[in-house]
Amino acid sequence: MDFGIASVTGITALCYLTGMGCKVAKHVPDEVIPVVCGVAGAALGVVGMYTMPGFPVHDVINALAVGAVSGLAATGVNQAIRQIGSKV
């Protein structure tokens, strides 16, 4: 499997924006945001498999996994930014 990070960066960026939207919406608890990002990433992974020519996987199960991990990475990016910001 030829895994290029550039092909799934878009999923992470869209999930990051989804998480930020959940944060702005006051009725979404903070504890649910990683789950929302993971599910959104999984859905985008399947969409990416069918629409992106260079997507690294070609079956639905692996597309779900790649998308979910990319979505959860958006949560990690958010936390890394917050932790680095609090130390400066």
Q: How many domains does the chain contain in total?
A: 1
Given a cut of 90, is residue 26 above it in pLDDT?
Answer: no
Stretch 16-39: mean pLDDT, rounded? 93
What's the domain range around 54?
5-87
Stretch 55-75: mean pLDDT, rounded? 93
Find tokens 């991990």 and name the residue.
69
Instruction: Indicate the range of 2-6, 26-30, 58-62, 71-75 predicted with least confidence.
Output: 2-6
Q: For 33-62, b where at least 16 C-beta lie within 10 A, e where not — what string? A: bbebbbbbbbbbbeebbeeeeebbbeeeee
